[in-house]
Amino acid sequence: MFHYLRLHPGTAEKELPGKVNWHNFGSPFIDYVWQTAQQTGVTAFIAQGEVRRNSELYRRLRICTDSYAAFRVANTEARAYTVDDADLSHLTPIQIEEQIRLTRILLNRLYRYGSDLRNLSIANPDFVPAPSVEEIGNIVHESAQERRDQEENMKRLHSLDDLPESFPSDEKR
C-alpha cells in the first residue's frame, strides 16, 4: 500500500487497491517448568538423552519467543502513525517513505519469526503447522527450492535422534 501511495500520491483511502491490517495474534512460549527442573536438580534423574532433547527444544522455544517479541516491537513501531490518523492517504511523502522503511523491518522480523517456527517444527514434528516454505520465502523473495534445500541440510546436521547418549569426551570426565 505504501509503495502504491508513493507512486500515486493523494489517492483517497477508499480508492486504494487494498487495506493495511496491523493486527496479529501470538503468545510467547513458557519454559518455567523446564527452568525449575534444571535449577532444582530434577534433570539428574532424567536420562541424559532426554535432557539434551528437552534442552534443545526449550532453546528453540526461547528463540521463537525472542523473534516474536522483536516482530511485535516492529509491528508497534510500524503502526504508530495510526495514533494520529489511521487514514493512509493523509500521510506525507516523507511519512510514506518512513512507513516503507518500517514495513521492511517488520517483514524481515516476520521472516525471522516464521523461519524460527519452521525450524522448531522441523526439529520437533509435534509443533505443526509451521509457516510453509512458500509463505516464508514470499516475504523475502527466496525460492522455495532454496529454502527446502536448506531445511534438508538442517535436518541432517541437527537431528537430535542421531546423537549418542554420551560422547567419548563425556566418558573421560
Which pLDDT band, with edges at 50, 70 and 90, does 158 fall under? low
Residue-range definition of the domain harbouring residue 157: 2-6+31-163
Grid coordinates given for 143: 525460492
Domain assignment present for residue 25? The answer is no
Domain annotation covers residue 119: yes
- Number of domains observed in the structure of the chain: 1
In a domain, 13, yes or no: no
User: Is 112 a domain residue?
Assistant: yes
Of 127, 123, 88, 118, nearest to 6 by C-alpha is 88
Assigned domain for 150 exists: yes
- Residue 146 within a domain: yes
Report the predicted TM-score, pTM, of the whole model to 2 decimal places. 0.77
At 59-116, the pLDDT tens digits run 999 999 999 999 999 999 999 999 999 999 999 999 999 999 999 999 999 999 999 9
What is the rounded distance in angstroms from the CA atom of residue 29 to the CA atom of residue 45? Answer: 25
pLDDT tens-digit map of 118-129: 989 888 888 877
